[in-house]
A and B are shown apart, each in its own frame.
Chain A
């Protein structure tokens, strides 16, 4: 499968519009929306199939058992994300700030902290002759690079026979974009990135060139790791 990825850096330059036009013009049978933070491709994709929906679990979140907490503040002192907040001389976890690192769970001398699974969004798959993989991150959740990877993996899994896949990228230059750009781990797959141009924002496009190089580096690291594990 060849993958065509639409990127822009700046928002609102027309990634989704270009993606939708390509899907229509090329009669693409496989497409995905990797802008999981603000997905829009489903609005123009016009698929009448009823989608399959699946909860997406991101990183776990810490919960403090108020009966066990003695208010010693060890977790508060150790948390790097400001996710532990004082509450009635004890402490509680701010679910939006918690990154699920489990350091509080490790340091608590009273075993008052448990790590629980957290639904961070929803993966949505349409199958109607065409395969359309998309997702929606829950409000205020981070970690969307992982969800982007899931969206692409789902597309690859359900559209194995498709020759071409169109992928609508997310804006920016952060982790979700790296996840969008990073190719699949087999030499048979190729990923081509197409930045949408905008008069004023050449800077963003230059960033994407760096990003492609960087994603290739991540790719090489993955290969190196696989070689080290499997011995070839």
Chain B
């Protein structure tokens, strides 16, 4: 089963829930698609690491062949090309790698070269395959890194946990698209609820079944519970707002490994998710 962990708002505990579910399952694959800030590996501490570079294309210009027609510059929708001092020049950070400039060049002056946009790191922690996508600083899109990372999804009988980026933009959509079930991690705060609604809308748009984990559950927050009841989203679990969990998290420890009560909590959650996903 492919399980996507989402939240909308950052810092609600996506990685916390994802890592603990992966460990609770025993044998699993954990894929960190939060490629701008991949943090799951800080907890899972995978070993036997191998790193693969993810590259897209960008143009290189042959000054000898270029006839200065500027077709490439005019074609580029991303304003990544400029014509300066009688030659075209590319801003690598802005280039979206569409290949259009090479297509329109009638002089054959453009070849495409690799542009590294990030890496995918693979490692293991006992029976867990840990896959981490890492975007290079300031790249326009995390999509190529996410796609490369998602190629390592485990077998259908096995649990694959997909730790998604925050927000509800196209990288979140890329991460969720192949999932069987979406687990939304919500925080009982005004900020949490506001962003939760956005991500719920996204999961619904993609037609994915959803369940909610309320993390940092500290007293009553009826607005969130009412929203879930109104939209028929099952609340699968409430994780308390406790100093113990905060301390474990801050020191990079995994709750499931540290205490049997958390091991039981996440095993039960996993059972509930499997039940919901089958329904």
Contact = CB atoms under 8 A, between A and B. Distances in A.
Given A99-B98, A101-B77, A43 B194 contact: yes
Interface in A86-140: 96-97, 99-103, 106-107, 137, 139-140
B9 interface: yes
A137 B169 contact: yes
Contact of B138 (A13, A43, A177, A225): A177
A200 B166 contact: no
Given A11-B37, A38-B10, A140 B77 contact: no
Contacts of A187: none
Interface in B132-185: 135, 137-143, 165-173
B85 interface: yes
A80 B98 contact: yes
Nearest to A221: B91
Interface of B: 8-12, 36-37, 39, 42, 56-57, 75, 77-78, 82, 84-85, 91, 93, 96-100, 103-104, 135, 137-143, 165-173, 187, 190-191, 194-195, 198, 201-202, 205, 249-252
Nearest to A60: B77
Given A37-B166, A40-B9, A173 B37 contact: yes
Nearest to B96: A99
A12 B96 contact: no
Contact of A171 (B10, B100, B168, B187): B10
A80 B84 CA distance: 27
Query: Chain A contact residues (Cβ within 8 angstroms of B): what range?
Result: 35 or more
A144 B166 CA distance: 14
Contacts of A145: 140
Contact of A214 (B8, B10, B84, B138): B138
A10 B98 contact: no
Contacts of A60: 77
19 contacts: A9-B37, A38-B167, A38-B195, A43-B190, A139-B202, A140-B169, A142-B141, A172-B36, A172-B37, A173-B138, A174-B140, A174-B141, A174-B142, A175-B93, A175-B139, A175-B140, A177-B138, A207-B137, A211-B138
Contacts of A200: 42, 249-252
A163 interface: no
Contacts of A199: 250
A210 B12 contact: no
Contacts of B198: 38, 139
A160 interface: no
Contacts of A9: 37
B96 A101 contact: yes
Query: Closest 5 A-B residue pairs measured CB to CB?
Result: A12-B11, A11-B10, A172-B36, A101-B98, A37-B167
A174 B165 CA distance: 12
A26 interface: no
A173 B166 CA distance: 13
Contacts of B166: 11, 37-38, 171
A231 B140 CA distance: 30
B169 A144 contact: yes
Contacts of A192: none
A110 to B, nearest CB: 17
Contacts of A30: none
B214 to A, nearest CB: 15
B39 A102 contact: no
A228 interface: yes
B123 to A, nearest CB: 17
